[in-house]
Structures are given as structure tokens and as C-alpha cells.
């Protein structure tokens, strides 16, 4: 699994998220109450770009149909069996990396 540089810590304050595209892969990285989380950036419902949607109260909201996923667990709010894949996050020298 490669270590991918995705953002600077200063560019992702608590309560924000960002979309990261590396090659053909799309990720979303969010800062929930000071803890960074990285997840698959494509909604399993209709392939919406989660990083282009809203992020509120720890929930990623798909811009296509409003499906909501926990940034912490990756779980869909209406069915916890539907989950986004999560990726480990590392911070080094002010840079955020994901292990994808």
C-alpha cells in the first residue's frame, strides 16, 4: 500500500473535509474534532463524489441524493451495514498522508 500525500494539516481545520483524487482513485479526508479520517470518496449509492458534498456534524453528505456517512466509522446513517472503506492516516512534518 503506498503512502499518499493528500493535504497540509493547516488546510484542513476541524469541521472541514477535502476531496483527494490520485490517479483514478477518489478519497475524502475529514477533520472531525481534531482527528483526521480518510475514506473512499465515492458514494456507494450512485457514485456521487462525497468530497464535493457537505460535511456537517461529523457526517459526509453526498451531493447527489443526500446519503449521509459518518466520517468516523464510514457507516451510512440509515443502514450501518453499508460502509465506506476507511484508510489509515499519518501526519508528518505538517503533511497529511493516507495509506491507500
Q: Which three cell numbers stand for residue 34?
A: 481534531
What DSSP assignment string belongs to 63-90?
TTT--EEETTT-EETTEEEEE--EE-EE
**What is the chain's alpha carbon radius of gyration, rounded to the nearest angstrom?**
12
Tens of pLDDT, residue by residue over 45-93, are 999 999 999 999 999 999 999 999 999 999 999 999 999 999 999 999 9
CATH topology of domain 3-89: Rieske Iron-sulfur Protein (2.102.10)
Instruction: Give CB contacts under 8 A, 24+ apart, made by 48-51.
Output: 49/19, 50/19, 50/84, 51/17, 51/18, 51/19, 51/20, 51/26, 51/27
Please say if the pLDDT value at position 95 is more than 90: yes
Amino acid at each position: 500500500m503506498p503512502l499518499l500525500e493528500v493535504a497540509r494539516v493547516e488546510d484542513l481545520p476541524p469541521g472541514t473535509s477535502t476531496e483527494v483524487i490520485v490517479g483514478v482513485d477518489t478519497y475524502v479526508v475529514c477533520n472531525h474534532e481534531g482527528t483526521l479520517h480518510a475514506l473512499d470518496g465515492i458514494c456507494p449509492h450512485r457514485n456521487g463524489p462525497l468530497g464535493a458534498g457537505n460535511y456537517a456534524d461529523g457526517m459526509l453528505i453526498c451531493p447527489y441524493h443526500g446519503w449521509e456517512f459518518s466520517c468516523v466509522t464510514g457507516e451510512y446513517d440509515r443502514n450501518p451495514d453499508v460502509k465506506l472503506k476507511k484508510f489509515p492516516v499519518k501526519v508528518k512534518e505538517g503533511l497529511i498522508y493516507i495509506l491507500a
